[in-house]
């Protein structure tokens, strides 16, 4: 619409969409911004281009569950001078600079403390190794799931590199997910990871006042997806244990 300022693309589970190039072409043609929600995608890429650098700006989360963390918070990356300047202003109470106590925006306290920054920098140094650990487990899952009839994996597109913040699989038929997870936990000692989103965005209470049309594909996908456990220190034997349990329970 004439009011559209830009598009936001979300790299779910650390997977950069194979259609990212189409979005770049679209925003260029329409004179719009492309902003990346790269909260899941530290170190992920497509076509050799890192997540967070396809658009005018990208944001990364440092929540404790992410592939890397500073303990809490996050960062914005951009190659646009104006966005960089505005971000610096908003993060520090709307001040024009650290040397001036002049408030030019209604800003907030989004400053990162030095201890948090040190943790983040150390994790950044270790990021390639942490991703490699996750990719090793993902490769075991990739191979092991080939024989499953009732469970399929969400594939990383050719030319893409995923950090496997989440390893997402989809049930062929909808099941009682809570009961399934409880069975795997209680009888097999397998703890599945939390879902990417248990409910789609349009069904969240904060948006109740907005008109939302039916989004059956989103609702179905959210209801049928599972996330297998994956972390950098995970042992290969643990991955095979997960596959064996899934084979018995789901097949």
**Rounded distance, CA 222 to CA 201, Å?**
10
Judge whether 160 and 45 are in contact, CB under 8 Å.
yes
Residue spans per domain, the chain: 6-115, 127-249
The HSE-up count of residue 151 (CA atoms within 13 Å, CB side) is: 24
Fold classification of 6-115 (topology level): 3.40.640
pLDDT tens string 50-103:
999 999 999 999 999 999 999 999 999 999 999 999 999 999 999 988 888 899
Could you read off the pLDDT of 92-117 as tens digits, one per residue?
999 988 888 899 999 899 999 999 99
| Dihedral over alpha carbons 224, 151, 17, 84 (to 10 degrees) | 60
Q: Give the per-residue pLDDT at 211.
A: 76
In the predicted structure, residue 1 carries a pLDDT above the cut 90: no
CA torsion 53→43→38→112, rounded to 10°? -100
Encode pLDDT of 205-250 as tens digits: 998 888 777 899 999 999 999 999 999 999 999 999 999 999 999 9
Cα gap 4→25, rounded to integer Å: 16
**Same-fold call for 6-115 versus 127-249:** no
β-sheet bridge partners, residue 36: 9, 58
- Please state which architecture CATH assigns to domain 127-249: Alpha-Beta Complex (3.90)
């Amino acid at each position: 619409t004439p009011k559209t300022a830009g598009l936001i693309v979300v790299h779910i589970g650390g997977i950069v969409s194979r259609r990212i190039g189409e979005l770049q072409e679209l925003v260029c043609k329409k004179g719009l911004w492309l902003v990346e929600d790269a909260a899941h995608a530290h170190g992920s890429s497509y076509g050799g281009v890192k997540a967070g650098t396809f658009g005018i700006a990208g944001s990364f989360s440092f929540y404790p569950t992410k592939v890397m963390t500073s303990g809490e918070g996050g960062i914005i990356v951009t190659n646009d001078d104006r966005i960089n300047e505005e971000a610096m202003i908003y993060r520090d109470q709307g001040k024009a600079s650290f040397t001036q106590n002049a408030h030019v925006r209604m800003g907030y306290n989004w400053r990162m403390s030095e201890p948090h920054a040190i943790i983040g920098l150390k994790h950044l140094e270790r990021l390639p190794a942490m991703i490699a650990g996750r990719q090793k487990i993902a490769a075991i899952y990739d191979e092991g799931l080939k024989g499953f009839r009732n469970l399929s994996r969400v594939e990383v597109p050719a030319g893409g590199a995923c950090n496997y913040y989440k390893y997402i699989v989809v049930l062929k038929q909808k099941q009682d997910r809570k009961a399934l997870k409880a069975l795997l936990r209680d009888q097999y000692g397998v703890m599945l990871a939390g879902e990417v989103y248990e409910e789609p965005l349009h069904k969240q209470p904060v948006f109740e006042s907005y008109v939302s049309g039916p989004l059956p594909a989103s609702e179905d996908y959210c209801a049928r997806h599972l996330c297998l456990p994956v972390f950098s220190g995970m042992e290969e034997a643990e991955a095979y244990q997960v596959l064996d349990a899934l084979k018995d329970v789901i097949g």
